[in-house]
Amino acid sequence: MLAARPSSPLDALWQTSVVVWVLLAGEGLAAILALAPSGDGNRWIHFGVGSLAIQWILLTTLGSLYVLRRPISAWRPASVAYVALILLVLSTWLVFGLSTWLLADLWPMDRVERLRWLGRLTALALTVGALGLAAFQNHWRTRQLAVRVAQSELEALQARIRPHFLFNTLNTGAALVHQRPEEAERLLLDLSDLFRAALAGPREISLADELSLVRRYLEIEGLRFGDRLRVTWSLPEALPAIAVPALSVQPLVENAIRHGVEPAASGGDVSVEVVEADGVVQITVGNTLPATPVRPTAGHQVGLSSVRARVQAMTQGRGSVETQAKDGRYTAILRLPMP
């Protein structure tokens, strides 16, 4: 069983929107410095030079954080903030040192003037860095609160799904207990495994464990529908070593049976396929559509919404759940990026 992967404040730094805003903030700082009353000469030149220097400082700082992301990813957010501030100051010194060396002929300075400029730039870097860290801390806290709210919503969705599944299974068990007691016992054991996974709360498990739960669920429904339920598996020899939200594939299979097999007098076919390609694992659950269209129920939408929300939360928006009905067949496709 796989543990959930912890999130780090550094994860937000690699998002495109954050990088763009950092670069725009650098341009804004360059504009402020160019328009300062103490500035002399051509302000466009001041802006261009300041913009070039600031962007190099910011990109060097972000690049250093990216290189150090693995050793510091487990640190407390406050410690990561101090490291980022230190890297910002070091990047400022590095860019200033290279500038004075490469432009020694165009920008001659004695030792005292060089130290004065270094002190000014250090104070500016500390001030801007402190303001940036304060803004980023607020962003991180807001993001954590949003994750907690989303987690609460997911738990509420799961709570609405479990009673429906429990009632259906108990009804099946009640029908079997006198006529086929051995199968009723097996049903209760499978139900125990499924609810042990469900009641453990939102977490991640391996794909192999999730498909094992799906098999138990299909065994339960097989006792209920008999020959009316026809299941086809298409799995690779070795399942991808990837984590999935617990009970994420099972609701898709439950929907396939509920809306594709149960309404049809002759039953229907359900297929489960796993394919890995181009760094993406695709899990496809399909079912034949009954001849008479069945209007989707609220339970169908709740289960699908829960799976979609949990997949997006686990993969930070990189995973997806899509559905389509075509050529008399309904399919649900779950895509997860490989770690």
DSSP string, 40-53: -S-HHHHHHHHHHH
- The answer as to whether 280 is a domain residue is yes
Structural domain span for residue 238: 151-337
Mean pLDDT of 189-201: 69
The torsion angles phi and psi of 76, rounded to 5 degrees, stand at: -65, 150
Q: What is the CATH number of the domain that holds 267?
A: 3.30.565.10
Helix axes 111-176, 298-315, angle to 10 degrees: 150
- Comparing 56-60, 108-112, 162-166, 231-235, which segment has the lowest mean pLDDT? 162-166
* Pair (188, 318) in one structural domain: yes
* Pair (170, 291) in one structural domain: yes
Helix (H) or strand (E) segment spanning residue 329: strand 329-337
Residue 242's pLDDT band (cuts 50, 70, 90): very high
- The answer as to whether 134 is a domain residue is no
- Comparing 14-23, 123-132, 180-189, 314-323, which segment has the lowest mean pLDDT? 14-23
- The answer as to whether 138 is a domain residue is no
- Do 321 and 334 touch, CB atoms closer than 8 A? yes
- Which residue matches tokens 């686990």? 314
Q: By C-alpha distance, which of 294, 282, 234, 283 is closest to 258?
A: 294
* Pair (177, 90) in one structural domain: no
Single-letter amino acid code for the residue at 18: V
201-224, pLDDT tens digit by residue?
Answer: 557 889 998 998 899 889 888 877
Predicted confidence at residue 224, as pLDDT, reads 77
* Pair (41, 174) in one structural domain: no
Does the pLDDT at position 267 exceed 50?
Answer: yes
Mean pLDDT of 115-144: 76
* Pair (59, 205) in one structural domain: no
Mean pLDDT of 91-97: 84
Tally of domains in the chain: 2
Greater confidence (283 vs 89) lies with 283
| pTM score above 0.75 | no
Tokens found for residue 219? 């065994």
pLDDT > 90 fraction of the chain, expressed in percent and rounded: 18
* Pair (189, 305) in one structural domain: yes
- Do 268 and 287 touch, CB atoms closer than 8 A? yes
Q: Of 108, 142, 167, which one is at a domain's C-terminal end?
A: 108
Highest mean pLDDT among 82-86, 91-95, 116-120, 240-244: 240-244
**What is the distance between the alpha carbons of residues 188 and 274, in angstroms, rounded to a whole number?**
28
Residue 281's pLDDT band (cuts 50, 70, 90): very high
* Pair (326, 203) in one structural domain: yes
- The answer as to whether 144 is a domain residue is no
Predicted confidence at residue 49, as pLDDT, reads 67
* Pair (294, 222) in one structural domain: yes
Predicted confidence at residue 43, as pLDDT, reads 67
Predicted confidence at residue 38, as pLDDT, reads 58
Does the pLDDT at position 140 exceed 70?
Answer: no
- Do 271 and 287 touch, CB atoms closer than 8 A? yes
Does the pLDDT at position 226 exceed 80?
Answer: yes
Q: Which residues pair with 206 in a beta bridge?
A: 243
**What is the distance between the alpha carbons of residues 206 and 308, in angstroms, rounded to a whole number?**
18
Q: Of 57, 84, 108, which one is at a domain's C-terminal end?
A: 108
Predicted confidence at residue 208, as pLDDT, reads 93
Mean pLDDT of 245-259: 87
- The answer as to whether 35 is a domain residue is yes
Residue 298's pLDDT band (cuts 50, 70, 90): very low
* Pair (177, 232) in one structural domain: yes
303-325, pLDDT tens digit by residue?
Answer: 677 788 888 888 878 899 999 98
Predicted confidence at residue 200, as pLDDT, reads 63
Angle subtended at Cα 203 by Cα 200 and Cα 207, rounded to the nearest 5 degrees: 110
